[in-house]
C-alpha cells in the first residue's frame, strides 16, 4: 500500500510529465481541483503554472490559451469552494479527519481569513493549502458575495498570470532551463511553503510559555 501511495505521489508531482501528457486541459483540470475541491489541497498549483510558463517559452503551449483557461479554472474553482462553505456551514469545523480531509487545514485558513479579512481571497492564492480552503471559509463566514466575486477574480487572475509569466521569463532568459525543470520546481515549492513556515514560527512564538 505504501509503495502505491509513493507511486501516486511521484506521478502527481511530476509536473513536467503532466504538462507533456495532458497539456493545457490537464493544467486547467488540476488548477480547478486544487482551488475548488477540498481534496485537491495537495496538488502542485504553483510549480505547475511556473513549469507551464517555461513550456510556453519553448513553444510547446499557447500562452493565450493557457492564461485564459487557467484563470477561468482558478476563478470558477474558488466559486465552488465558496458554495461548499455556504452549504456546509460551521459543521465543516467539526468534521472528522480522513485521508483526504484535515480539520487543521480549515482552521489554518480560518485564522488566515480572520487576520486578513476579504484580502485573504487574493493573498491565499499564493499560500499552498490555504488557497484551497480560504474560499470555503469565506462561504462559511457568509462573506458578501459581490465582494467575494471581485476579490476572487482579481486573485485568480493575478496568481495565474504571475506564476505563468515568471516561468515564461525564466524560459526566455535562462538557456535550456527546460532541461533542469526539476530544479525550478524544487525552488518554487520551497518558496511557496515559506509563508506557511513563517506563520507557524510566528504562532509558536506567541504561545504562552
The residue extents of the domains of the chain are: 19-37+44-201
- In 3-state terms, what secondary structure has residue 101? strand
pLDDT of residue 192: 66
Q: At what angle do helices 130-140 and 145-173 cross, to 10 degrees?
A: 170
- Model's pTM, two decimal places? 0.80
> Each residue of 172-199: pLDDT tens digit?
888 777 666 667 767 776 666 666 566 6
> Each residue of 48-57: pLDDT tens digit?
899 899 889 8
Cell numbers that stand for 47 in this block: 510549480
The closest of 144, 4, 156 to 69, measured between CA atoms, is 156
The closest of 139, 21, 122, 160 to 84, measured between CA atoms, is 139
Cell numbers that stand for 189 in this block: 515549492
pLDDT of residue 203: 54
Stretches in the chain below the pLDDT threshold 70: 1-16, 97-101, 178-182, 185, 189-209
- The residue assigned the cell 471559509 is 137
Cell numbers that stand for 63 in this block: 500562452
What's the CA dihedral at 79, 19, 46, 171 to 10 degrees? -130
Amino acid at each position: 500500500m505504501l509503495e502505491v501511495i509513493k507511486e501516486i505521489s511521484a506521478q502527481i508531482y511530476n509536473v513536467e510529465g503532466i504538462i507533456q501528457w495532458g497539456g493545457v486541459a490537464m493544467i486547467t483540470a488540476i488548477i480547478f481541483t486544487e482551488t475548488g475541491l477540498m481534496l485537491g489541497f495537495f496538488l502542485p498549483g504553483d510549480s505547475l503554472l511556473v513549469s507551464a510558463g517555461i513550456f510556453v517559452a519553448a513553444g510547446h503551449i499557447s500562452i493565450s490559451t493557457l492564461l485564459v483557461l487557467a484563470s477561468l479554472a482558478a476563478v470558477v474553482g474558488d466559486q465552488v469552494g465558496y458554495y461548499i462553505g455556504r452549504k456546509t456551514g460551521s459543521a465543516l469545523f467539526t468534521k472528522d479527519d480522513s485521508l483526504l480531509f484535515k480539520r487543521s487545514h480549515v482552521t489554518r485558513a480560518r485564522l488566515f481569513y480572520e487576520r486578513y479579512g476579504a484580502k485573504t481571497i487574493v493573498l491565499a492564492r499564493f499560500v499552498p493549502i490555504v488557497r484551497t480552503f480560504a474560499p470555503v471559509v469565506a462561504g462559511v463566514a457568509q462573506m458578501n458575495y459581490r465582494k467575494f466575486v471581485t476579490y476572487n477574480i482579481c486573485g485568480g487572475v493575478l496568481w495565474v498570470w504571475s506564476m505563468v509569466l515568471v516561468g515564461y521569463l525564466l524560459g526566455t532568459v535562462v538557456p535550456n532551463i527546460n532541461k533542469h525543470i526539476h530544479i525550478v520546481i524544487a525552488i518554487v515549492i520551497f518558496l511557496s511553503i515559506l509563508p506557511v513556515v513563517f506563520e507557524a514560527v510566528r504562532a509558536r512564538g506567541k504561545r504562552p510559555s
